[in-house]
Structure 1
Amino acid sequence: MGELNIYGIYVPIFLIQAVIAFVIWKFVCIGTDRLIEKDLIALPGIFNISLYLIVLWVLHWVVIQITT
């Protein structure tokens, strides 16, 4: 993918995507916390990690589709 030079500091593009995915994930967690409180999700830790990875994968796929 590459890297971005910000005032002489090289920042990987994937790191920027990970931060954006984290912000999106936090907004999605507002809705899923209700399901966790009602015990509809058995393992909330694994569910949250999986949900973050899905958001990161979708965001990475979108960025790749836009750049090619």
Structure 2
Amino acid sequence: MGELNIYGVYVPILLIQAVIAYGILKVLMKWLDRLVANDWIIMPNLFYLCIYLLLLGVVHWVCLFL
């Protein structure tokens, strides 16, 4: 990993990946909220946390191998 220097401010690469994963999660939540409303998902907060961690792993993996 490393940092990205943006106008003298060092930004960790993992922070950028976390923001990308969060953006993807917000898009997915629009579709997943329908499942929550229909009671297909019991604990939505825990479910969203797991989906976020999965997305963060995927984004990290993609950034490593591109």
TM-score by length of 2: 0.97
Q: How far off its partner does 1:52 sit?
A: 0.6
Q: CA RMSD in A?
A: 0.5
1:2-59 per-residue CA deviation (whole Å, 9 max, x = no partner) reads: 0000110000000000001100110011110000000000111100100111111100
Give identity over the alignment, percent.
53
The CA distance in 2 between the partners of 1:45 and 1:10, in whole Å, is 32
Q: Unaligned stretches of 5+ in structure 1?
A: none
Tell me how many residue pairs correspond in the alignment. Answer: 66
The CA distance in 1 between the partners of 2:32 and 2:64, in whole Å, is 28
The aligned counterpart of 1:44 is 44
The aligned counterpart of 2:9 is 9
Counterpart AA for 2:40: L
Q: Unaligned stretches of 5+ in structure 2?
A: none
Counterpart AA for 1:7: Y
User: Where do 4+ consecutive residues of structure 1 move more than 2 Å?
Assistant: none
TM-score by length of 1: 0.94
